[in-house]
């Protein structure tokens, strides 16, 4: 009997642990995306349903009850893109261990793109989102949601591209938006020789924990900006090493 109770307890603990891990992974998947706003909306509907029952608002309660009775179907419809992306990652074996490989591939593509842009003397600014979301800077940009590749990054910043002005924002290993305008720094310490791209990169990193790569079209140099500080004249190797040391999601 005691052994049966121990097995039940171990099974319960394993059940709780698995559910906790899945919820944590799910939160990381939707963090900083539109799915968060939709989830908040569903929670508000649930809270409104509870309030309608408590205050005996029968008509509203009936309407919400019929809506929530199909909640699984509603969730599948609202979150179909996120569900498809999550299942794709699971199918590729990237649920846990693949995150590091994906991050390394993204860093490699970004570093090679920066070198190509610097060689061509094409100006660029690439913001890598970390813990602090960059949603407010995405609104004025062009949404993309594309895999990070050097070809795409280079093509975005070519002068002939309609979205070459502004910054590219990379979130969780994907190009989320292009043509985003970042806040210029107001610091009086910043050198006047720095152009608008560098000032925008410094301004963003003063307000968030993002890491920003800047390619100067005048000098053909690569710079990395973090916490309001700029490291200039980086090569591909040093850029890869520094980005790999950051806690990029």
Neighbours of 212 (CB within 10 A): 25
Reported confidence tier of residue 16, pLDDT bands at 50, 70, 90? confident
Beta bridge partners of 175: 146, 170
Kindly state whether residues 44 and 136 are assigned to the same domain.
Answer: no
Q: Name the pairing type of β-strands 211-215 and 222-226.
A: antiparallel
Predicted local confidence at residue 32, as pLDDT: 57
Last residue of a domain, one of 91, 119, 144: 91
The answer to whether the CB of 224 falls within 8 A of the CB of 234 is: yes
Look up residue 158 and give its DSSP letter.
Answer: S
Kindly state whether residues 110 and 87 are assigned to the same domain.
Answer: no
Residue 201 structural domain: 98-245
Kindly state whether residues 7 and 73 are assigned to the same domain.
Answer: yes
pLDDT digits (tens, 9 = 90+) for 110-122: 999 999 999 999 9
pLDDT digits (tens, 9 = 90+) for 114-144: 999 999 999 999 999 988 889 888 888 999 9
Kindly state whether residues 134 and 226 are assigned to the same domain.
Answer: yes
Last residue of a domain, one of 70, 91, 112: 91
Kindly state whether residues 80 and 64 are assigned to the same domain.
Answer: yes
Kindly state whether residues 80 and 105 are assigned to the same domain.
Answer: no
Kindly state whether residues 214 and 126 are assigned to the same domain.
Answer: yes
| pLDDT over threshold 90, residue 43 | no
Kindly state whether residues 59 and 180 are assigned to the same domain.
Answer: no
Kindly state whether residues 164 and 232 are assigned to the same domain.
Answer: yes
Average pLDDT across the chain, whole number: 84
- pTM equals 0.65
Domains of the chain: total: 2
Kindly state whether residues 110 and 181 are assigned to the same domain.
Answer: yes
Kindly state whether residues 64 and 135 are assigned to the same domain.
Answer: no
Last residue of a domain, one of 59, 91, 123: 91
Question: How buried is residue 92: exposed, middle or buried, by Cβ count under 10 Å (0-12/13-18/19+)?
Answer: exposed
Kindly state whether residues 105 and 196 are assigned to the same domain.
Answer: yes
Query: In angstroms, how far is the first alpha carbon of the chain from the final one?
Result: 46
H-state helical runs in 208-245: 236-245
């Amino acid at each position: 009997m005691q052994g049966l109770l121990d097995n039940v307890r171990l099974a319960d603990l394993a059940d709780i642990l698995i559910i906790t891990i899945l919820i944590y992974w799910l939160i990381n998947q939707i963090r900083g995306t539109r799915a968060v706003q939709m989830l908040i909306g569903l929670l508000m509907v649930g809270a409104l349903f509870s309030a309608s029952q408590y205050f005996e608002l029968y008509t509203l309660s009936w309407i919400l009850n019929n809506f929530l009775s199909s909640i699984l179907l509603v969730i599948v419809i609202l979150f179909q893109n996120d569900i498809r992306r999550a299942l794709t990652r699971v199918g590729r074996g990237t649920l846990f261990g693949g995150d590091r490989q994906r991050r390394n591939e993204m860093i490699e593509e970004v570093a090679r793109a920066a070198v190509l842009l610097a060689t061509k003397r094409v100006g660029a600014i690439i913001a890598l989102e970390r813990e602090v979301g960059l949603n407010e800077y995405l609104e004025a940009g062009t949404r993309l949601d594309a895999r990070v590749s050097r070809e795409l990054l280079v093509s975005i910043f070519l002068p002939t591209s309609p979205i070459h002005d502004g910054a590219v924002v990379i979130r969780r290993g994907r190009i989320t938006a292009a043509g985003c305008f970042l806040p210029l720094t107001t610091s009086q310490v910043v050198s006047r020789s720095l152009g608008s791209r560098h000032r925008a990169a410094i301004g963003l990193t003063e307000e968030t924990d993002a890491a920003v790569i800047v390619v100067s079209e005048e000098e053909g140099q690569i710079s990395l900006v973090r916490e309001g500080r700029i490291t200039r004249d980086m090569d591909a190797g040093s850029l890869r090493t520094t980005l790999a040391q950051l806690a990029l999601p």
